[in-house]
Amino acid sequence: MKNIVLLGATGSIGESCLNVLRQNISNFNLFGIAFGSNISQAKRISQEFQPEHIFTGKTVNPDDLIELQSVSNVLTSEEDLKQLIQNSQVDIVISAISGFEGLLASYFAIESGKTILVANKESIVAAGDILMPLAKNKNALIIPIDSEHNAIHQCLGNKKNLKEVSKVVITASGGPFRETPFNELKNVSLQDALNHPTWSMGSKITIDSATLVNKCLELIEANYLFDIPESQIDIVVHPQSIIHSMVTYIDGSTIAQLSNPNMEVPIANALGIEARLPIQFEELNFSELNLSFEPIPVGRERIFEIAREVCNLKGNSGVIMNAANEVAVNAFLNKKILFSEIYDVIERTFAHFQCSKLSTIEDVFDYDKQARIHAEKVIKSVH
């Protein structure tokens, strides 16, 4: 029986994780959960799984906590969160809080040498220079949940001998605006941007998928997680989202991982550390599959150039790009900027900062703060 802490339990990834746990209840115990403010969902999870500890990261009405307290120990401080994650009884931490807010929890897990299943790509993008060496130092096993990275993880198999790898190919659905000319992006609505063709996800990552910034973050995530230079990472649009990524080896063989687009598949793979876990899934019907591939849509080159620069510069560059994007996406979600202005905010904020090294996790928080302030200024200057 493995004790799990599920961070971001009430979100889209959280829900998929719970579905996988439900189907493998004899192997896992939900020891603790963390959530933001979705109290009704937290109550449902608490009733069903009866986790010993529940952490809430946002201010919630104390009356709402009473019901949770009857089942679980309710935690609210940063120190509580650290103790929950680093509790010696915990075997696996699932990092599925959305955005930069998930970083501290990822850091706590890695610091204590836990096995960490990472959905929160923003923590790797922003703090890869701190988290990756720390994981090596503390012997923390990092297993990706992001479908592309979990696919690469599977395609690399046990050997993980990067000398044998010629290329990694990350697939992208292309999002809802795959066929929209770049100069028409300023007219797209929030509703259209939230309407992803193949995946159902939280709002921040859905907008990232529409701008293709999600794919940029994934490029950086792959660069850090697998220690593969960006020059060996290709990105190809594959609208059906059936092939989740591929690895081409030096002998000319390409290995791909396929499934219908359902996050329970990579989650089950990541949780099946010793042996694969059985889950219910919709089989692929190969005789009806029509798989196609195309280049990244014209006009989005600059954002990918920035992401490739981040892979080469490292240091604070990922924090800056990530923070600028989070501020811009938030402004777009609140209808303060146009869709196409998300690119401008990232570009102008990124250009404003010099690249410097990150020495501590505090540096990451510091640059994040500075970049957010600058991104807000950029938004004010255009509106």
Binding site for ligand NAD (CB under 6 A): 8-14, 34-36, 38, 57-58, 96-98, 101-102, 119-122, 146, 199, 201-202, 205, 263
The Cα–Cα gap between 215 and 238 comes to 12
What are the residues facing 335 on neighbouring strands? none
The residue (of 59 and 354) whose beta carbon lies closer to ligand NAD is: 59
**With binding defined as CB under 5 A, does residue 122 bind Mg ion?**
no
Q: Is 12 annotated as a binding residue?
A: yes
Please work out, in degrees rounded to the nearest 5, the angle formed at the alpha carbon of residue 235 by the alpha carbons of 232 and 239.
Answer: 155
The Cα–Cα gap between 323 and 334 comes to 17
The residue (of 201 and 375) whose beta carbon lies closer to ligand NAD is: 201
The residue with tokens 């949770």 is 68
Q: Is 196 annotated as a binding residue?
A: yes
Determine how β-strand 254-258 pairs with β-strand 243-249.
antiparallel
The Cα–Cα gap between 75 and 291 comes to 47
The residue (of 32 and 248) whose beta carbon lies closer to ligand NAD is: 32
Q: Is 202 annotated as a binding residue?
A: yes
Q: Is 102 annotated as a binding residue?
A: no
Shortest distance (Å) from residue 287 CB to ligand NAD: 28
**Binds 51, which of Mg ion, ligand NAD, none (CB < 5 to 8 A, cut-off by type)?**
none
Shortest distance (Å) from residue 147 CB to ligand NAD: 6
On whether the CB atoms of residues 225 and 149 are closer than 8 A, the answer is yes
**Binds 233, which of ligand NAD, Mg ion, none (CB < 5 to 8 A, cut-off by type)?**
none
**Binds 13, which of Mg ion, ligand NAD, none (CB < 5 to 8 A, cut-off by type)?**
ligand NAD
Shortest distance (Å) from residue 67 CB to ligand NAD: 17
Spatial CB neighbours of 108, under 8 Å, sequence gap ≥ 6: 81, 82, 85, 86
Shortest distance (Å) from residue 66 CB to Mg ion: 38
The residue (of 214 and 330) whose beta carbon lies closer to Mg ion is: 214
**With binding defined as CB under 5 A, does residue 146 bind Mg ion?**
yes
- CA 65, chain centre distance (Å): 28
Shortest distance (Å) from residue 41 CB to ligand NAD: 8
Q: Is 11 annotated as a binding residue?
A: yes
Shortest distance (Å) from residue 6 CB to ligand NAD: 9
Q: Residue 124: phi, psi to the nearest 5?
A: -70, -45
And the tokens for 277? 């876990």
The residue (of 148 and 368) whose beta carbon lies closer to Mg ion is: 148
Dihedral angle computed from the Cα positions of residues 212, 215, 219 and 225, in that order, rounded to the nearest 10 degrees: 150
Q: Is 10 annotated as a binding residue?
A: yes
Task: Locate all alpha helices (DSSP H) within the chain, ordered by sequence.
Answer: 12-22, 39-49, 62-69, 78-86, 103-111, 121-138, 147-156, 190-193, 203-211, 213-226, 264-271, 301-313, 317-333, 341-352, 361-382
Q: Is 121 annotated as a binding residue?
A: yes
Shortest distance (Å) from residue 381 CB to ligand NAD: 28
What are the residues facing 92 on neighbouring strands? 4, 115
Q: Is 227 annotated as a binding residue?
A: no
On whether the CB atoms of residues 340 and 289 are closer than 8 A, the answer is no
The residue (of 146 and 230) whose beta carbon lies closer to Mg ion is: 146
On whether the CB atoms of residues 114 and 92 are closer than 8 A, the answer is yes
**Binds 76, which of Mg ion, ligand NAD, none (CB < 5 to 8 A, cut-off by type)?**
none
The residue (of 148 and 363) whose beta carbon lies closer to Mg ion is: 148
The Cα–Cα gap between 309 and 219 comes to 11
Shortest distance (Å) from residue 238 CB to Mg ion: 12
The Cα–Cα gap between 173 and 235 comes to 11
Q: Is 198 annotated as a binding residue?
A: no
The Cα–Cα gap between 122 and 346 comes to 15
Q: Is 218 annotated as a binding residue?
A: yes
The residue (of 46 and 120) whose beta carbon lies closer to Mg ion is: 120
- Give the footprint of Mg ion on residues 267-326 (CB under 5 A): none
**Binds 96, which of Mg ion, ligand NAD, none (CB < 5 to 8 A, cut-off by type)?**
ligand NAD
Residues annotated within the binding site for Mn(2+) are 146, 148, 218
> Which residues define the annotated binding site for NADPH?
10-13, 36, 38, 120, 122, 202
> Where do contacts with Mg ion occur on this chain (CB under 5 A)?
146-148
Binding positions for 1-deoxy-D-xylulose 5-phosphate: 121, 147-148, 173, 196, 209, 214-215, 218
